[in-house]
Structure 1
Amino acid sequence: MIPELGFLSLTIAMALCILLCIYPLWGAHTGNLRLMRAAPALAMGQFVFVLLSYLALVYTSLHDDFTVAYVANNSSSVLPWYYKITSTWGNHEGAMLVWVLIQAFWTVLVAMLSKSLPWLLRARVLGVLGFLGVGFMSYTLLLSSPFESLLPYFPVEGRDLNPLLQDPGMIIHPPLLYMGYVGLSVSFSFAIAALLTGKLDNTWAKWSRPWTMAAWAFLTLGITIGSWWAYAELGWGGWWFWDPVENASLMPWLVATALIHSLSATEKRGVFKSWTVLLAIAAFSLSLLGTFIVRSGIIVSVHAFATDPARGSFILAFLLVVVGGSLLLYALRVAEVKSEGRYQLFSREVALWLNNIFLVVATLIVLLGTLLPLVHKELGLGSISIGTPFFNQMFSILLVPFASLLALGPMLRWKQNKIKLVFNKYALSLLISVIVSSAWLFSSYEEVKVMTLVAVMLAVWIVVTSLIDIGLKVADSTSILLGLKKLGLSYWAMILGHIGFAFVIAGVALTSAYSVDRSVKMNPGDIASLNEYDYRFEGVKSIQGKNFTGHAGVVTVLKENKFVVELYAEKRLYTIGKQFMTEAAIDDGFTRDLYLALGEQFDNGAWSLRIYHKPFVRWMWLGGIIIALGGFLILFDKRYRRRQAPQTTGNKGVMA
């Protein structure tokens, strides 16, 4: 009964979403205020019924209802309750329902929190979001329903959740990623609504910016936690593999990063209007492209959902409609878009424009490296591989100019700058950065590669210029605290974003250059050494979980004969699926991780172990969290707080 109610609720939500797509758009076109005013109620209604549908799926999973095909294929009676909830987005059908739920959530948020928008813009934004909701709900109901029944023949036990997904990171990684993916649909809807309205003034940029920042911050967190999950769960000691599915999330993030910078220039200076609209379209289009890559079955990945061709064809068709329709509208309206601000060559506007260029070029590199092997294979031309060396080399080339712009950015002002004053601060910060980074690396490591030194120097440079700019801004205040308070949340968001990126650069450079590992064969009592640490193998002990059994290798870590930590590296056998999984043991620290993976047992009773020493690897994830914090911080800026709206459209001839 509950699964049927879930399907019925989703069907009702679909009907409401169709009305949400039609009523406000038609009302805005004809000037009918009554139709436009129906949009918020329709948005709330479709969210409530989608939520009921999702709760029905959660109920069936928690109560082990194996008459539902999705639950039978992705859960089991012995699965812990929190992983039963996780299983609702652990495979394709459930993940799409969560996507639809988040789409409905963003839509109702826009409806409730945009009351100060003119009705013409507000109605069109909600209408476009309704159109997108119709597309995703149609796909879920017609091709991807998680409520399909196995009656009258159903198993007495489920197949269990994929062991790779039975990890704390996977409890929060997919929802955060979807919040980012789907949140970009709000930016897209604002851009399309502005094109439909024909008023690409600063208003749409101002109101689109906080929604874009929120989506970008969620996407940043999702990618960060996904990287940590790959590092902790896959047992390879790696944090990014340039996997097509990883790239699918990176591409919209890169374009969204360009978009938030461009929106800032459009809002404050009235420049880059057409470019900003194009970036909003591109960011969400790349989110849809990522959905196609993950769910079409054209790739094999631990992250992907292998599905039938009909599903991939539907997503591809929807992608073409959304992208093609939005680009056609853009082409028809772009001639009417005029930038208002004027600026000199040496200004913040130009720096932001160059920043956008580098981010778009990086996106094109990832797009080429991801799709070219797939297209090459689909055309019957054989298999080609574009792997880590290609991406690393191309991003290394882009890093220097891009990071230099980030270092320069806080020192620049709008319109124009005095070159001599900026150059003096720029040169001083560069000199400090060279001294600090050189002293740091040459005192810590015997060999320092040029690219590592450059990367660390750029990271230090970004931090130093940010601190110098903060110091100069508070220098004229009567007190430091008063000066810091006057800087504003938007400024602090920028500073946090730049400093977070500096941590990412330094973390990537240092862990890539100085990580070491060693494979050893050990009997109980044996000691292996790596980077000043001694690892004494104490033996193995049996472990028993709710849905797995196995062994844990016990290793005592010593440094200079002093106890550091005891690690338990596990080898698990999941009882239902009969799948072996390696659970790495990690002793994390601010400047290094000790990482241990248990291998196979030899005939003589010895065990193979893989030991890793990974310096500064945590800085990457710390940087990602700092970047996301900057994105969320701007949401508290008083300029974006809700105000009561006038209840008119501002146009003549509006019918009540």
Structure 2
Amino acid sequence: MDLSFAEIGHYSLVLALALSLLQSFVPLWGAHRLDGRLMSVGPVVAVVNFGYVALAFAALVAVHVTSDFSVANVYENSNSQIPLLFKITGVWGNHEGSILLWILILALFGALVALFSSNLPDTLRARVLSVQGWIGTAFLLFLLLTSNPFARLNPAPMEGQDLNPVLQDIGLAIHPPMLYLGYVGFSIAFSFAIAALIDGRIDAAWARWVRPWTLLAWLFLTLGIAMGSYWAYYELGWGGFWFWDPVENASFMPWLAGTALLHSAVVMEKRGALKIWTILLAILTFSLSLLGTFIVRSGVLTSVHAFASDPTRGVFILAILTAFIGGALVLFAWRAPGLKQGGIFAPISREGALVFNNLFLIAATATVLVGTLYPLALDTLTSRKISVGSPFYQLTFAPLMVPLLLAVPFGPMLAWKRGDLKGAAQRLAVAMVLSVIAVVLALFLSGAKGVLAPLAVGLGIWLIAGSVVDLTERARLFRGSLSTSFARLTGLPRSAFGSALGHAGLGLTVLGITFVSSWQIEAITSVKPGQSIPLGHYQLTYVETTNGRGPNFRAEVSRFQVTGDNGRSFTMAPSKRFFSARQSATTESALKTIWLSQIYLSLGDRSDDGSLVVRAYYKPLVTLIWLGGVVMAIGGVISLSDRRLRVGAPRKARARKPAAEPVST
């Protein structure tokens, strides 16, 4: 009998589950017995397991592309009329497909560890792969028992219900995979932490091994959050870049904790300190990723991201959450007292600066966690619905960020073990002067109407200038010939450039948030053809509205002629789209980027007199918000290309027997 794509995909998932069970126990038992043959099973199974999960994912893509409406997942989330791109993105634009994507990326990271971690001790690699197998087994069981993406319909419908119109956008081709590469990528740090706790020993080499995986996950999560923010900004028509929605917070919390983990791992690698804290951070970071999966996929939220509505799914994910987070914390409580604490250092030192960084990042994470879970808990316990929005975070999160950002440029200027705060301040004098000038200019240009925004501008310049000063100090610029300084600069490790770009990117984001939050111009009004809207240095004249059609929608496109004070003009055309299959509409905003700023137009409903409601914004330097995220991610890529991070630790000697090598202390 010929098998269809759906049957191939389903059988592949069953085989992947069997392999995950094998991966979960055989290498672990081999590590316990120091049996090299059993431990060697782990890498082979991890790679084959990825192959079967990839085959299942490819089968789901195939049934979507071919519009096989006998598969319930295709019928509920696709349509024969939608473009090919959205047929593909519709694969993960639903609960079942998104969980399969989650598992695919988990299996991918497991295979990468198997293929590119031959420098690890065999026992450590075996335990890491086993923990990855545990996670894979749990989610494959969840998928097969509660969320089978290949479930059939009989009889097969003639046409599908279409993909959610809001998800029919190019951003959905990029945002979820990037986000999941970050979410799931932190599972490697988690697996390393559990493996170290099982063994009962941890050292600086462990930090060198775990840092590249953590950095890889962090940079993907950074890009995923930035892409998601920009998608919501232009697609939802509300004009904002961040709403402090629980779904947004679900990705932001692992990012904050992952940033703390990266910095803590540096201290552990360089100085052998913060061992227990780094292990705990590795557990907490992935635990927050699991918590985010629960929030989005359990049905506790009503959101464009929250696809699940079956309570059974929520209970199953909650059981996974409890098992992994609870089990990891119990193991940590049992093993941590027996771990060596590591080196000591003075409060004023690079280690001290990184600890300061960690404390404020974790406090900020806790703030976001409380703001996210409190409304959900209150609704569950009392059926009272409240929302925790921007005012709460402005009063709690923002004050924690200010001292943290002020301290960022000092860290690289301080020596390890014992630093000179006065000397660091002297080296940062130029950055201080530039930030003060920026504050004064911002006060002058804003008419001294407030001090918080100009101070935030100064903070952004402080971060950018501090990053430049860091590199110039390392190159000893102006302390010798330019050729010598240039040679020093080009001889710096790539991680130094990556760190500087990361901090500078953060400064760019701070500047973008400050400018658009404090100085954007907004106009919400009704207009008829020929009427104009003043918007700062621009006049927006409503010309006409015409009708159009797309592959699976009809559209009303409104054309505006925009004229600046300099006489230059251009056309903007926001629209509304109506999707008949879903009987719903979307607002397609129009954007015009002018240098780093944007004009943003979004359509409302028509008034009774036939006029058109328009939301118009001039957003100064708004693109810096997402440009900063891209710069941070580029910094991560450059750091990852540093040979010390790619190699991690010396390769094992050929003469050594694999089974005899424990994790070193």
What TM-score range do you get, normalising by the shorter chain? over 0.9
Counterparts of 1:76-91 in structure 2, within 5 Å, are: 76-91=79-94
Describe the shift of the 1:252–1:335 C-alpha distance in structure 2 as closer, same or farther (beyond 3 A): same
Quote how far apart the aligned CAs of 1:427 are: 4.6
Counterparts of 1:198-209 in structure 2, within 5 Å, are: 198-209=200-211
1:341 maps to 343
Counterpart contact for 2:212–2:646, Cα < 8 Å: no
User: Aligned partners of 2:484 and 2:658: how far apart in 1?
Assistant: 45
Quote how far apart the aligned CAs of 1:495 are: 0.5
The range that moved more, 77-86 or 639-648, is: 639-648
User: Aligned partners of 2:634 and 2:323: how far apart in 1?
Assistant: 35
Counterparts of 1:15-414 in structure 2, within 5 Å, are: 15-151=18-154, 153-380=155-382, 382-414=384-416
Aligned length: 652
1:637 maps to 642
Quote how far apart the aligned CAs of 1:168 are: 1.1
User: In the TM superposition, what whole-angstrom CA distance separates every residue of 1:428-459 from its partner, at most 9, and x where no partner exists?
Assistant: 532331113322x1453334421111211111
Counterpart contact for 1:21–1:127, Cα < 8 Å: yes
Give the SS at the match of 1:612. Answer: strand
Give the SS at the match of 1:60. Answer: helix
Describe the shift of the 1:653–1:297 C-alpha distance in structure 2 as closer, same or farther (beyond 3 A): closer
2:599 maps to 594
Give the SS at the match of 2:573. Answer: strand
Q: Letter of the aligned partner of 2:249 in structure 1?
A: N
Counterparts of 1:479-490 in structure 2, within 5 Å, are: 479-490=484-495
Scaled by the length of structure 1, what TM-score is found?
0.97
2:514 matches 1:512 = no
1:558 maps to 563
The range that moved more, 633-642 or 164-173, is: 633-642
Describe the shift of the 1:382–1:489 C-alpha distance in structure 2 as closer, same or farther (beyond 3 A): same
Quote how far apart the aligned CAs of 1:222 are: 0.4
Counterpart contact for 2:438–2:454, Cα < 8 Å: no
Counterpart contact for 1:590–1:619, Cα < 8 Å: no
For structure 2, the residue ranges without an aligned partner over 5 or more in a row are none
User: Aligned partners of 1:179 and 1:272: how far apart in 2?
Assistant: 27
Quote how far apart the aligned CAs of 1:385 are: 2.9
Q: Letter of the aligned partner of 1:378 in structure 2?
A: T
1:585 to 557, 581, 590: 590
2:458 matches 1:453 = no
Describe the shift of the 1:602–1:375 C-alpha distance in structure 2 as closer, same or farther (beyond 3 A): closer
Counterpart contact for 1:96–1:140, Cα < 8 Å: yes
Give the SS at the match of 1:24. Answer: helix
Counterpart contact for 2:410–2:425, Cα < 8 Å: no
Counterpart contact for 1:78–1:546, Cα < 8 Å: yes
Describe the shift of the 1:652–1:521 C-alpha distance in structure 2 as closer, same or farther (beyond 3 A): closer
Describe the shift of the 1:503–1:448 C-alpha distance in structure 2 as closer, same or farther (beyond 3 A): farther
Q: Letter of the aligned partner of 1:520 in structure 2?
A: T
2:626 maps to 621
User: Aligned partners of 1:410 and 1:40: how far apart in 2?
Assistant: 38
User: Aligned partners of 1:236 and 1:534: how far apart in 2?
Assistant: 21
Quote how far apart the aligned CAs of 1:523 are: 1.7
Describe the shift of the 1:480–1:542 C-alpha distance in structure 2 as closer, same or farther (beyond 3 A): farther
Give the SS at the match of 1:386. Answer: coil
Give the SS at the match of 1:571. Answer: strand
For structure 1, the residue ranges without an aligned partner over 5 or more in a row are none
Counterpart contact for 1:556–1:563, Cα < 8 Å: no
Counterpart contact for 1:118–1:646, Cα < 8 Å: no
User: Aligned partners of 2:174 and 2:584: how far apart in 1?
Assistant: 23
Counterpart contact for 1:62–1:84, Cα < 8 Å: yes
User: In the TM superposition, what whole-angstrom CA distance separates every residue of 1:65-117 from its partner, at most 9, and x where no partner exists?
Assistant: 00000000000000100100000000100101111111110100010010111
Give the SS at the match of 1:479. Answer: helix
Q: Letter of the aligned partner of 1:606 in structure 2?
A: S
Counterpart contact for 1:349–1:415, Cα < 8 Å: yes
User: Aligned partners of 2:160 and 2:383: how far apart in 1?
Assistant: 41
Counterparts of 1:397-476 in structure 2, within 5 Å, are: 397-439=399-441, 441-475=442-476
Superposition RMSD on alpha carbons, in Å?
A: 1.6
Q: Letter of the aligned partner of 1:641 in structure 2?
A: R
User: In the TM superposition, what whole-angstrom CA distance separates every residue of 1:130-166 from its partner, at most 9, and x where no partner exists?
Assistant: 1111111111111111100002x22111011101111
Describe the shift of the 1:601–1:391 C-alpha distance in structure 2 as closer, same or farther (beyond 3 A): same
Counterpart contact for 2:461–2:507, Cα < 8 Å: yes
Counterpart contact for 2:254–2:289, Cα < 8 Å: yes
User: Aligned partners of 2:349 and 2:413: how far apart in 1?
Assistant: 10
Quote how far apart the aligned CAs of 1:480 are: 3.5
Counterpart contact for 2:121–2:661, Cα < 8 Å: no
Quote how far apart the aligned CAs of 1:653 are: 9.9
The range that moved more, 448-457 or 494-503, is: 448-457
The range that moved more, 492-501 or 594-603, is: 594-603
Counterpart contact for 1:565–1:587, Cα < 8 Å: no
Q: Letter of the aligned partner of 1:322 in structure 2?
A: F
2:581 maps to 576
User: Aligned partners of 1:84 and 1:143: how far apart in 2?
Assistant: 23
User: Aligned partners of 1:553 and 1:281: how far apart in 2?
Assistant: 51
